[in-house]
Amino acid sequence: MVKRIVVGAHYGLRDWLVQRITAVVMAAFALLMLFIVLFHRPEHYGAWKALMSQQWMRLASLLFLLALFWHAWIGVRDVFMDYIKPAGLRLLLLVGVVLLLVAYALWSVQILWSLY
Amino acid sequence: MKFRIYRYDPDKDAQPYMRDYDIALEPTDRMLLDALVRIKAEDDSLSLRRSCREGVCGSDAMNINGRNGLACITRLADLKEPVELRPLPGLPVIRDLIVDMSQFFKQYHSIKPYLRNDAAPPSPDKERLQSPAEREELDGLYECILCACCSTSCPSFWWNPDKFVGPAGLLAAYRFIADTRDQATSERLDDLEDPYRLFRCHSIMNCVDVCPKGLNPTRAIGKIKDLMVRRMT
């Protein structure tokens, strides 16, 4: 059987751009955390809890986590595209990764908003 | 001078092996190709491609002590002994240091490496003119000699040589996108906007590291992406 080489999916630019934007979001959050640890110095559980349960911090954390999951999706898909050659297996793994990351995102919301 | 050279003749050898050579050089032997020609004179079973012997034709690209380069412009004095020579990685070996470059050229042809312009020239006896600034845009792009040092040092090309255009092909693609006389920019960008053809490049820059002509495919690829972003936003 002749194996046909198929390309021309006409996507990729958006993902490439998103990977860079999410990287900037994650770097900004990392700097924010560094700043908090260095200058705000929350030293015990109560201080951390008070910090993390503020609405702006919840939103910042959620943005960071969503950026992380989106970034991870693009990166993992790239790795699978390089190394997993059978298309059926690749699709199965990609679906698994999407479901896992969506579940993580929902779980993140539950964790962040359950702090009082 | 000591050499270890990859040998494989599919007609005779069950598998490839490394053969040692110890060769007496003449004071006029400056470049690796000079030594290879001397080895070939002693052992005429060794197969390699070479032609211009001055870094213009791109025939004698090979893996020299783990790094792709042209034998004819690689100074012997700079090489650590024993000099280990292998064929370019990632392409099928035909014999010894000769690889089958079909896949590489297929990718090059896929970007349509010629000017596409349907407009009639200003007059039949006149060229399509460019300003010096427009011509300058092509510097660092047109000099590629298609030796394949870059593409065969790129892991993305190793994993997907049938789908990823590779640094040499993408440099050539940008050479025509950057040319003011070419009118097919939009079609060229459409053709490259693909997770495999362009976006397998993860900017690890092996191509820039090995290019014997000092070209920068990663920068050209970045400019293609830049144009795509400008087109999209």
In a domain, A17, yes or no: yes
Neighbours of A34 (CB within 10 A): 10
Interface of A with B in 81-110 (CB under 8 A): 81-83
Look up residue B65 and give its amino acid: N
| Residue A43 pLDDT | 86
Q: What is the mean pLDDT of residues A16-37?
A: 96
The label of the residue with tokens 């809890």 reads A49
d(CA B103, nearest CA chain A) in Å:
12
User: Among B194, B122, B18, which residue's Cα sits nearest to residue A12?
Assistant: B194
Is B202's CB within 8 Å of A7's CB?
A: no
CB contact under 8 A, A7 and B163: yes
- Whether residue A4 lies inside any domain: the answer is no
CA nearest to B228 within chain A = A13
| Dihedral (CA of B43, B45, B46, B50) sign | positive
Cβ-based contacts of A91 with chain B (< 8 Å): none
How far A6 CA lies from chain B's nearest CA (Å)? Answer: 8
* B195: nearest CB among A5, A17, A81: A81
The letter for the amino acid at A101 is L
For residue A50, tell me if it sits in a domain.
yes
Q: Containing domain of residue A51, as a range?
A: 13-113
- Given an 8 Å threshold on Cβ–Cβ distance, is B156 in contact with A82? yes
Residue A24 sits in a domain of what CATH number? 1.20.1300.10
Q: pLDDT tens-digit profile of B113-164? A: 999 999 888 888 888 999 999 999 999 999 999 999 999 999 999 999 999 9
Q: What's the CA gap between B46 and B96, in Å, rounded?
A: 7
Structure tokens at B145: 């000699």
Question: What digits encode the pLDDT tens for the residues B203-213?
Answer: 999 999 999 99
Report pLDDT digits (tens) over B174-222.
Answer: 999 999 999 999 999 999 999 999 999 999 999 999 999 999 999 999 9
Q: Please check whether residue A99 lies inside any domain of the structure.
A: yes
Q: How far apart are CA B141 and CA B173, in angstroms?
A: 9
Query: Model-level pTM?
Result: 0.91
Confidence bin at A108 (pLDDT 50/70/90): very high
Residue A8 maps to a domain:
no
Number of domains observed in the structure of chain A: 1
* Interchain CB distance below 8 Å, B159 and A83: yes
Is A81 among the domain residues? yes
Instruction: Look at residue A1 in the predicted model and tell me its pLDDT.
Output: 66
